[in-house]
Homo-oligomer: A and B are copies of this chain.
Amino acid sequence: MKISERVQMMQASPIRKLMPYANSAKEKGIHVYHLNIGQPDIETPKEMIDVYHNFSEKVLAYGPSQGLECYRENLVKYYAGHNIKLATSDIIVTTAGSEAIVFALTAVCNVGDEVLIPEPFYTNYNGFADMAGVHIKPIPTKVENGFALPEKEEIVKLLTSKTRAIMICNPGNPTGKVYSKEEVEMVASIAKEHDIFVISDEVYREFVYDGYEATSILHIPGIEDRAVMVDSVSKRYSACGARIGCIVSLNKELMAAVLKLGQARLCPPTIDQLAASACVNLPQSYFEKVNVEYKKRRDLVFNELEKIEGIVCRKPEGAFYIVAKLPVPDAEEFVIWLLNDYHVENATVMVAPAAGFYATKGAGLSEVRFAYILNENDLKKAMFIFRTGLKKFREIKGF
């Protein structure tokens, strides 16, 4: 029985596809430091876990398709704290940011339409686009200048009659790039001038360092009818397993369309919404503490990378990722070699080859993404293995 061509053509997750190598290392008793996935090790807030512990309804019932009213009211408060003024009707709760992106693409694009996205981009965007029947057209950015957006006219050149939106991820996964206000305004001006939507993935809003600030697409005046923000509590509260996100827009017609999509799948998980809702009252000091920790880790990884001759890497301003260009022709080969053939004190390290984050064929082949989601001590060991492993690999290969 033949399955559909559209699914045959989908790429398998480049983040997860090397897992068999990691598993085989583990079977040999080797510890693997996982810097390849964005699963934070930070503890989920007690306020959130308490909600699961205290659930007292007799029936675990459906909630409304747009999300629980009490949670949406709390989200209004949360966004107000970020200078984003909303009504509950501007917010639809989704099953994680993943569903928010699929809904956004489906509501904005017909099958075969195009969306511009700066590359490298979060690799799962490919899967979402495939599910929505949408083509991603990459806006090239480069590690050499810290993945800054190109000039406006370079982006405008990429527009076609099929382009329906520009999508950005800010702060960026996998780049760690935090776009300046001017960059976000430039994207907004293109959307306005060329009558397309802007979809902004802002799930790393809180993770910005060195005094940088994340500009929301909803901070930009004059594009209220074309701005769509997608969000998630996965990273914010270290609650990836809760699968709670949302989609936000002031465009009433768009939100009515998203509600139709939402009604088709009935509702997001009920208790997980209540749990996410409890986090809205977390004090700012919670994020400050988390950020101190992540900043330390970023500096550690970046400083270790700087010691490596021939590496290209700029210090990122946000999220918890760093992309580096290695002095090897094929970073995936090196990643597999680390798992198969290199260990220090019975441990090795896994990072994500970055080619899977590029839509342009052949781009990013020498690059890898580090997710700095381990404690300082483990990170130190992991980076030592990475650095010495790279040296050894190059000696063996003669690069």
A interface list, Cβ under 8 A from B: 1, 3-8, 10-13, 16, 37, 39-44, 48-49, 52-55, 57-63, 65, 95-96, 98-99, 102, 106-111, 113, 124, 126-128, 130-131, 133, 164, 195, 197, 225-226, 238-243, 251, 253-254, 257, 259-261, 263-272
Question: Are A263 and B62 touching (Cβ within 8 A)?
Answer: no
| Residue in B12, B99, B102, B240 whose beta carbon sits within 8 Å of that of A263 in the complex | B12
- 7 A-B pairs with least C-beta separation: A127-B264, A241-B270, A13-B263, A98-B265, A7-B257, A60-B241, A62-B240
Q: Chain B residues near A39 (CB, 8 Å)?
A: 59, 61-62
Question: Are A95 and B243 touching (Cβ within 8 A)?
Answer: yes
| Residue in B3, B57, B130, B260 whose beta carbon sits within 8 Å of that of A108 in the complex | B3
Q: Chain B residues near A272 (CB, 8 Å)?
A: 269, 271-272
Question: Are A12 and B106 touching (Cβ within 8 A)?
Answer: no
Report the bound CA distance from A63 to B61 in whole Å.
Answer: 23
Besides A8-B257, A126-B264, A241-B270, 8 other A-B contacts (C-beta < 8 A) = A7-B107, A13-B264, A61-B241, A62-B240, A98-B265, A111-B111, A111-B133, A131-B264
Question: Are A106 and B4 touching (Cβ within 8 A)?
Answer: yes
Closest to A234 in B: B62
Question: Are B98 and A7 touching (Cβ within 8 A)?
Answer: no
Query: In angstroms, how far is the closest chain B Cβ from the Cβ of A270?
Result: 3
Q: A16-B65, A44-B59 are in contact. Are A264 and B98 (CB under 8 A)?
A: yes
Question: Are A43 and B58 touching (Cβ within 8 A)?
Answer: yes
Question: Are A7 and B240 touching (Cβ within 8 A)?
Answer: no
Question: Are B3 and A107 touching (Cβ within 8 A)?
Answer: yes
| Residue in B3, B133, B238, B243 whose beta carbon sits within 8 Å of that of A267 in the complex | B243
Report the bound CA distance from A11 to B265 in whole Å.
Answer: 13
Q: Chain B residues near A37 (CB, 8 Å)?
A: 62
Closest to A128 in B: B264
Q: Chain B residues near A261 (CB, 8 Å)?
A: 7, 10, 127, 131
Query: In angstroms, how far is the closest chain B Cβ from the Cβ of A251?
Result: 6
| Residue in B99, B110, B251, B260 whose beta carbon sits within 8 Å of that of A265 in the complex | B99
Query: In angstroms, how far is the closest chain B Cβ from the Cβ of A316?
Result: 22
Report the bound CA distance from A59 to B270 in whole Å.
Answer: 19
- Give me 18 A-to-B residue pairs in the complex whose CB atoms sit less than 8 angstroms apart, sorted by A's number: A1-B251, A4-B109, A6-B106, A7-B106, A7-B257, A10-B257, A13-B263, A13-B264, A49-B55, A53-B54, A61-B241, A99-B265, A131-B261, A241-B271, A242-B270, A243-B267, A243-B269, A269-B272
Report the bound CA distance from A389 to B257 in whole Å.
Answer: 35
Question: Are A241 and B63 touching (Cβ within 8 A)?
Answer: yes
Report the bound CA distance from A39 to B131 in whole Å.
Answer: 29
| Residue in B63, B260, B269, B271 whose beta carbon sits within 8 Å of that of A127 in the complex | B260
